[in-house]
Chain A
Amino acid sequence: MTVLQVPRIYFRGKISWDPIVTNNLTQLYDLDTSRPNFAGRTVAQYREAARLAVDNGEGNWNPHGTHRSTFFETTVTGVDRGEGVSEADALVGQPVIQTGMLVDLNPLTAVTSQLFFDRLSLGIEGGSQILAPAGYRYTARNINFGRNTGYQVIAGVASVNWQTSFAKADLRLAARGSKIIEAFSKALQKDEVLGLTVRFNAYRTTYFDSPAATDARERTLADRIAAGGFHPNPARSLVVGVVGLWCEGEPAHVPGDRFLVGGDHPLVSSAYAAVDGDSLVLDLSNSISETGFDVEKADLGTLTVTARACPPVQLGSIRYEDYARAAYEKNSGLVCLPLDAAQKAAALSADLEVSAGGTPVLSERRFHACADTPNVYLEAGDLHSVALHVLDRGKPPAVPVKLTVAEVGGPALGPVVVSTDARGKASVELKGVQKGEWDQMLLPWQDDSPPEVPAQLDPTQSAYFSVRTMPTDDEVAKLPPTWENVFAQVLRNWNALAPCMDNWLRLNDRQQCEAYAPLLKRLTSRSEFERFRYMPVTRDLTTGERTLLHRWCDAVIAKQVKAKAEARAAAAPQPQADTQADTKVPSSRKKRRIREARPE
């Protein structure tokens, strides 16, 4: 089962994207060192360069970003318990609540986006609610730069699929009159059900709070920043999404359904599909282009869905009104086609194809691969094993399949070929060889006909995972843990790149950093890496930098503890002969009752 099989929840609304994009520019960020490219600038000069990059054509649309990404005006819009989409459920209309941190594994490219978050809630406490603490970060896939033909402001042209999954042991479901939550509760009792999967598509992203970003708006932002204060400039996307069951054998982070890729048609991009009972469900949430800011869908006429059996079997037709805007928003881009027995057999045994006007626009790739860890952070010299899955029309293959893992433009000598086991599983060993980030295309194949390795990654055509190797900086770790070294080697980087931090913790303020040393240490710890509040949000702190920072924090904390102990000792009452003291609790003991608190 997947989100393409019932039971299923639909939601719709908006999401904000507020990344700092200063590090999207090679002139301001050095991926090899994982640091801002200071080029001799001070922090103030670096910030000024970031500001100037707003309106000098370099495209820095958000130097004051926070990386926060929040669902807003987003609600459950429908449910499907096997009887079609319905609005008759207590969960419908309830808010979908989530705030995450948008972080690109490689900020210089557009294909490695992730969302770190702590929890997702459908509904509110006390009402019908699914509360899902994060298990895995969200991963973006299939970014489609042809999505909106009439709205091409920055990445407003694009759309992208996001997915994550939640282990059932962590979930809290409270039906309170919601039949769909009851259905999920029942389904979650099955051994093969691992939990829930959430998949959503973000599209029509608006920048500068305007349908048309203009030079004047860029200039206004740059001027406001120059005048002082905090000026984040979040982008906002529309969102449609679904929640379904996550089952054994299905990837958590990326869709594991049957994968259909687009052909030459400029208005159609990749899709997913699954047979669910007596229906074929197509996920067209990322597939068919809109023609403008009003998000009306391009009219491709009636689409025909066929199983490429011999002879081909037509599975059904999709009229324009079935994929037009209203249907898209109601069904989150899913289209269901009823199948008779013969059609179902054909759909299960042959590749799928979608045609427009007799021309194929989507064709199934029989084998589809994915990695358990779509975004991998390595240190140079690290060894890491990545688990891979190959799916044969959405299911584990009956026989072993070969899988070519091809690095795009990286230091690897050539593609690696691995064979899956009988369940379609394989692994590949990675070694952090060279600083930087490279995408690893996954190309499954059979019959001694290895695929031609594309020269470039097309995220709408190929599965992939990405690896970023951070620099080894033992020399930084070994530096004396002085404030000067910690600032110069660690804190200065965020102080320059993330002006938003000024609103919470001034990283150039020694006194303040010392006061919050316990907090700094905790939030930069490796154990917090998956958490919403991990620092630095950009996740480019190297081991050497962390070691130096933590050594400094430890020294500061030890000093604080010692000072407190001395203060307590100084305040402790001297032994007194006066027996009246026995009738009172010494104030110093009372003081100790007050719990010591450290800022969170």
Chain B
Amino acid sequence: MIRIKARPASTVVELRERLQQAVELEFATLPPYLYALYSIPPGQNQAAVERIKDIVHEEMIHMCLACNMLNAIGGRPLIADQKSVPSYPGPLPYDIGSEDGKLFEVSMLPFSKAAMAQAMRIEEPEDPLVIKAKAAAAVVPEFQTIGEFYQAVDQGLSRLPKEAFSARPRNQLGDQAFFMGELFAVTCYEDAHRAITRIVSQGEGSSQSPVDFEGDLAHFYRFSEIERNQVLAKADNEQGYAWGEPLGVDWEAVFPAVADPASHEAALVNDAAAIQLQDDCDQAFTRMLVNLQRAIDGEPGRLGNSVRFMFELRMASIAAFSHPVEGLDKAVGPAFRFRSELA
């Protein structure tokens, strides 16, 4: 279980900080999940693809809901900025997930058991991983699970005066364009509470059951299905669930690709095509974030533009994954680098 250092959050300023942290945390999971997803050749490993896609969509929704909450209390979510975009391999934002001084380093892994195991570790609802928060090594920290972190934010928001929320929707993303019924404006504490309940439930599920309130599996269990290559099915036993039929995962049906593409820059120097493909990926990723930033800054119509660049990122990624780099004999997939000069 990922843990995050508990820090008080009772004032509006502190809650804005926590919500920016939430935005970055939700965002940080996306590149490693997308790297694994895009490394699967089109038309293959459909069961795994559907599961990862669903999780990615839910993480995007969580991030947008966190942005809505932050905007609702007068903050400004920061996404299209070097400070907000993690590097891989690297720790999660704010060293989340690190334990006993040892960083939890997240890598970009092509679709594999290892990639799914890493995702499970990120999403794990129990058996906590404990990490230290970065600027407070000397202090005896208190740690929270992601669920507890959101619960603390929820409590903090519940104590804010009603006027702290902009009753008139302020820079809110709705479900008109995407995520019908799942993305909604936050204009009061009740909306925020609903958003937090959704985020926690879909991400972690409950401790009693892998099935959350919507009747869907928490992310950890969906990744587990892929990693085990088995469907988790309801069963008439004490737990109520059992591992069932094979999921049909083909670990060979994946582009041969390196892990952590950003670490292989030197290997690309003699392959102009590979460099161009990396630029294409970086450009699409950067433009996606720039448009997303505009969307959460009050131009919700830019969400569509952001999705367009996400489509381009996928296509550029497929091209990159299809191109074995001379000397490496493997492809170098998208590095998910934010490069403002490409915006």
With A594-B255, A596-B322, A597-B41 known as contacts, the answer to whether A127 contacts B233 (CB < 8 A) is yes
Closest residue on chain A to residue B301 by CB atoms: A229
- Min CB gap A287→B, angstroms: 27
Q: Name the one of A93, A123, A126, A590 contacting B324, with C-beta atoms under 8 angstroms.
A: A590
Residue of A227, A230, A234 contacting most chain B CB atoms (<10 Å): A230
- Min CB gap B63→A, angstroms: 18
**CB atoms of A597 and B181 under 8 A apart:** no
**CB atoms of A232 and B177 under 8 A apart:** yes
| B232 contacts chain A at the CB level, 8 A cutoff | yes
Interface string of B296-325 (1 = CB under 8 A from A): 000111111101100100110010011010
- Min CB gap A533→B, angstroms: 13
Q: Name the one of A209, A227, A593 contacting B301, with C-beta atoms under 8 angstroms.
A: A227
With A70-B180, A94-B215 known as contacts, the answer to whether A126 contacts B301 (CB < 8 A) is no
Interface string of B173-189 (1 = CB under 8 A from A): 01111001110000000
**21 pairs, CB–CB < 8 Å, chain A vs chain B:** A68-B180, A176-B234, A209-B176, A224-B301, A227-B301, A228-B299, A229-B300, A229-B301, A229-B305, A230-B305, A231-B176, A232-B176, A233-B176, A503-B307, A504-B311, A591-B329, A594-B331, A595-B44, A597-B318, A599-B314, A600-B42
B225: chain A residues within 8 A (beta carbon) = 126
A500: chain B residues within 8 A (beta carbon) = 304
Residue of B234, B235, B302, B307 contacting most chain A CB atoms (<10 Å): B234
With A126-B231, A600-B42 known as contacts, the answer to whether A229 contacts B176 (CB < 8 A) is no
Interchain CA distance A590-B327 in the complex, whole Å = 11
**CB atoms of B301 and A231 under 8 A apart:** yes
Interchain CA distance A599-B182 in the complex, whole Å = 28
| A14 contacts chain B at the CB level, 8 A cutoff | yes
| Number of B residues, CB within 8 Å of A | 48
A595: chain B residues within 8 A (beta carbon) = 41, 44, 255, 322
Closest residue on chain B to residue A598 by CB atoms: B42
Given A126-B233, A209-B174, A232-B304, 11 additional A-B pairs, CB 8 A: A95-B214, A123-B215, A126-B234, A127-B234, A176-B233, A229-B295, A229-B300, A229-B301, A231-B177, A595-B41, A598-B42
Q: Name the one of A73, A209, A234, A597 contacting B322, with C-beta atoms under 8 angstroms.
A: A597
B176: chain A residues within 8 A (beta carbon) = 209, 231-234
- Min CB gap B280→A, angstroms: 11
**CB atoms of A177 and B236 under 8 A apart:** yes
- Number of CB contacts from chain A to chain B under 8 A: 123
Q: Name the one of A72, A232, A598 contacting B182, with C-beta atoms under 8 angstroms.
A: A72
Q: List B residues at the A interface (Cβ < 8 Å).
A: 41-44, 174-177, 180-182, 211, 214-217, 225, 231-236, 241, 244, 255-256, 295, 299-305, 307-308, 311, 314-315, 318, 321-322, 324, 326-327, 329, 331
B315: chain A residues within 8 A (beta carbon) = 515-516, 599
Interface residues of A in 211-239 (CB under 8 A from B): 224-225, 227-234
Closest residue on chain A to residue B230 by CB atoms: A126
| A269 contacts chain B at the CB level, 8 A cutoff | no
A229: chain B residues within 8 A (beta carbon) = 295, 299-305
Interface size on A, as a range, is 35 or more
Interchain CA distance A128-B234 in the complex, whole Å = 8
| A587 contacts chain B at the CB level, 8 A cutoff | yes
6 closest A-B pairs by CB: A229-B301, A230-B304, A72-B181, A176-B234, A600-B42, A503-B308
| A124 contacts chain B at the CB level, 8 A cutoff | yes
A34: chain B residues within 8 A (beta carbon) = none
B255: chain A residues within 8 A (beta carbon) = 594-595, 597
Residue of B233, B311, B314 contacting most chain A CB atoms (<10 Å): B233
Closest residue on chain B to residue A174 by CB atoms: B233
Interface residues of A in 114-128 (CB under 8 A from B): 123-128
Closest residue on chain A to residue B273 by CB atoms: A567
Closest residue on chain A to residue B303 by CB atoms: A230
Interchain CA distance A595-B45 in the complex, whole Å = 14
Interchain CA distance A251-B295 in the complex, whole Å = 47
B308: chain A residues within 8 A (beta carbon) = 502-504
- Min CB gap B319→A, angstroms: 8
Closest residue on chain A to residue B318 by CB atoms: A597
| A16 contacts chain B at the CB level, 8 A cutoff | yes
Q: List A residues at the B interface (Cβ < 8 Å).
A: 14, 16, 68, 70, 72-73, 75, 90, 93-95, 123-128, 174, 176-177, 209, 224-225, 227-234, 500, 502-505, 515-516, 587, 590-591, 593-600
Closest residue on chain A to residue B232 by CB atoms: A126
Residue of A75, A126, A127, A597 contacting most chain B CB atoms (<10 Å): A126
B321: chain A residues within 8 A (beta carbon) = 594, 597
Closest residue on chain B to residue A596 by CB atoms: B322
A231: chain B residues within 8 A (beta carbon) = 176-177, 300-301, 304
Closest residue on chain B to residue A230 by CB atoms: B304
- Min CB gap B169→A, angstroms: 11
B44: chain A residues within 8 A (beta carbon) = 595
**CB atoms of B301 and A230 under 8 A apart:** yes
B177: chain A residues within 8 A (beta carbon) = 230-232
Interchain CA distance A72-B175 in the complex, whole Å = 11
**CB atoms of B217 and A126 under 8 A apart:** yes
B233: chain A residues within 8 A (beta carbon) = 126-127, 174, 176
With A224-B301, A503-B308, A515-B315 known as contacts, the answer to whether A72 contacts B329 (CB < 8 A) is no
Residue of A127, A174, A593 contacting most chain B CB atoms (<10 Å): A127
Q: Name the one of B175, B182, B322, B324 contacting A587, with C-beta atoms under 8 angstroms.
A: B324
B181: chain A residues within 8 A (beta carbon) = 14, 16, 70, 72-73
**CB atoms of A93 and B305 under 8 A apart:** no
**CB atoms of B322 and A594 under 8 A apart:** yes
- Min CB gap B52→A, angstroms: 14
Interchain CA distance A117-B174 in the complex, whole Å = 24
**CB atoms of B304 and A503 under 8 A apart:** yes
- Min CB gap B331→A, angstroms: 7
A504: chain B residues within 8 A (beta carbon) = 308, 311
A503: chain B residues within 8 A (beta carbon) = 304-305, 307-308, 311
A68: chain B residues within 8 A (beta carbon) = 180
With A177-B234, A231-B301, A594-B331 known as contacts, the answer to whether A72 contacts B180 (CB < 8 A) is yes
Interchain CA distance A232-B178 in the complex, whole Å = 9
Residue of A503, A516, A593 contacting most chain B CB atoms (<10 Å): A503
Closest residue on chain B to residue A14 by CB atoms: B181
Closest residue on chain A to residue B257 by CB atoms: A594
B175: chain A residues within 8 A (beta carbon) = 72
Interchain CA distance A234-B175 in the complex, whole Å = 9
Interchain CA distance A70-B241 in the complex, whole Å = 29
Interchain CA distance A233-B300 in the complex, whole Å = 12
**CB atoms of A597 and B42 under 8 A apart:** yes
B329: chain A residues within 8 A (beta carbon) = 587, 590-591
**CB atoms of B302 and A125 under 8 A apart:** no
Interchain CA distance A380-B304 in the complex, whole Å = 38
With A229-B305, A591-B324, A599-B315 known as contacts, the answer to whether A124 contacts B215 (CB < 8 A) is yes
